[in-house]
Structure 1
C-alpha cells in the first residue's frame, strides 16, 4: 500500500498511535522543550502512521458496511497475525479461532475490509518476504520458496512471477549488487 492512495481517508488509530498523540497533546508547559518535543513526537506519529498504512494494519474508519467496530478490530488482529506469523502453517480455522470470529465472518469481513481473501493476503505476505530474501541473501531459490510456504519450485516460481512480473531467478539476477 502506498500512503498517497489513501489521501483524505480516515482510520481508527491503534493503541500505540493514540498513546503518541496523547503525549503530543499533554506535553508540559516548558516553552522551548515543548515545541521541540511536540515536533519530535509529531514526526514519530507520522512515521508510525505511514508504516502502518504501508503494512495495511490501520483499519479504515469510513463505511465499515456490515462490520461492527468489534468485528473490524478482530479482522485487524487477523491481518496482524498474517503479517507477523506468515511463516507458520496458518489455516483459516486457526486464524478465526484466535481472533474470536467464525470462518464465514472472517472470510467475508476480511474481503470487505481488505479487498482480498485471507489466503491472498497470506500468500502476498509470504511472497514479499521471498522477494526480500532474494535481494538480501544468497540462499538457493528453492529454499526461499520452501520457507515461503511453497512445497515445490514450480508453484513458487509461478506465484512469484504472477505477483512481481518476473520469475525469482530473473528478479535476483536483475537486482543491483550492494557495494
Structure 2
C-alpha cells in the first residue's frame, strides 16, 4: 500500500521559503514525497536540494519544480528566501512529469517569474470575486512557463534531472519502493531482491549517489513518519510501530531512542502543546 505524507491540502497554497527553512533539520533533509506538485522560486541564499537520487546546490534566481510523488529533501546553508507554491492535489493542470532545476541568468527571466508568483499570491490571498478561478488561471500561466523553459533548458544548466547514471537509476528505483512500502516490514535484503541486485551492491550505489547507506535511507524515512505522527496525531505508539513495519513496539522504541535520543513517549510529551489530529 502506498504511504505518502498525508498533510497536503487540495487547494493551492503559497509559503515563504524562509518559513520552510526554519523547520527542524530532520523535517527538511529526510527524503519524502508529496501528493501535489511543488514549485520553488529562490530569491536569496543558497543550499542543497536532493531530488530523487541526485543532490544539487541552489542559489538565487533558481526555479525548481518537483512533480507529485517525487522524493526530495532540502538543506539551507544560508538564510534562504523566496516562495514555495504547492499546486494542490486537484489542480488539473498540464505540468512537467519530470523534475526541473533551472538556473536563470537573465534579469528579464527573473522579473517574469517574480511577476507570475506575485499574481498567484495576490489571488490566493485575496478576497476578490472568483479569486479561486483567477488563481487557477495564474497557475496555468506558470505551468506554461515551466513547459517552455523545460524545452529551452534541456541539456543546459543541468536543467533536466532525468539523465541519471547507473547508480542513480538504481537508487531512484529503491527510493520509489521505500516511499511505497516504508509502512511494511520489508528490509534491505527484500528491497535488493525486488530490484534484482545484492544488498551490498545496493548499499554501494546508495553511498555513491547520496552519501547514505541503503539501511539509512529506509530508517530515516520511517523515523520521519514516526516523528510526524507523534507530533501531529494521537495515534498510540504501538499502532505507529505496527504501521511502520516494526516487529514489536519495544523494538520501535529502542530504534527511535537510539536515533532521536529519547523514547517515543517522551518525544510526544515534549511536543504535546502543538495541535494534533485524530488519526
Higher percent of residues as strand: 2
Aligned length: 146
| Distance in 2 between residues matched to 1:96 and 1:114, nearest whole Å | 17
Tell whether the 8 Å contact from 2:185 to 2:246 is kept in structure 1 after alignment.
Answer: no
Tell whether the 8 Å contact from 1:87 to 1:148 is kept in structure 2 after alignment.
Answer: yes
TM-score scaled by length of structure 1: 0.61
| Distance in 1 between residues matched to 2:185 and 2:46, nearest whole Å | 33
Gaps of 5+ in 1: 22-31, 46-58, 62-67
For residue 27 of structure 1, what is the aligned residue in structure 2?
none
For residue 239 of structure 2, what is the aligned residue in structure 1?
143
| Distance in 1 between residues matched to 2:192 and 2:253, nearest whole Å | 29
The CA deviation at 1:102 is 4.1
- Which of 99, 120, 129 is the matching residue for 1:17? 99
Higher percent of residues as helix: 1
Matched, 1:69 2:111: no
Tell whether the 8 Å contact from 1:74 to 1:100 is kept in structure 2 after alignment.
Answer: no
For residue 48 of structure 2, what is the aligned residue in structure 1?
6
Tell whether the 8 Å contact from 2:254 to 2:263 is kept in structure 1 after alignment.
Answer: yes
- Which of 161, 165, 174 is the matching residue for 2:261? 165
| Distance in 2 between residues matched to 1:110 and 1:94, nearest whole Å | 16
SS of residue paired to 2:202: helix
> Residues 3-31 of structure 1, C-alpha deviation per residue, up to 9 Å, x if partnerless?
955289359x985224x96xxxxxxxxxx
The CA deviation at 1:42 is 10
RMSD between aligned residues: 4.1
Change (3 A) 1:138 1:115: same
TM-score scaled by length of structure 2: 0.42
Change (3 A) 1:103 1:161: closer
SS of residue paired to 1:6: strand
| Distance in 2 between residues matched to 1:42 and 1:177, nearest whole Å | 39
SS of residue paired to 2:182: coil
Change (3 A) 1:42 1:172: farther
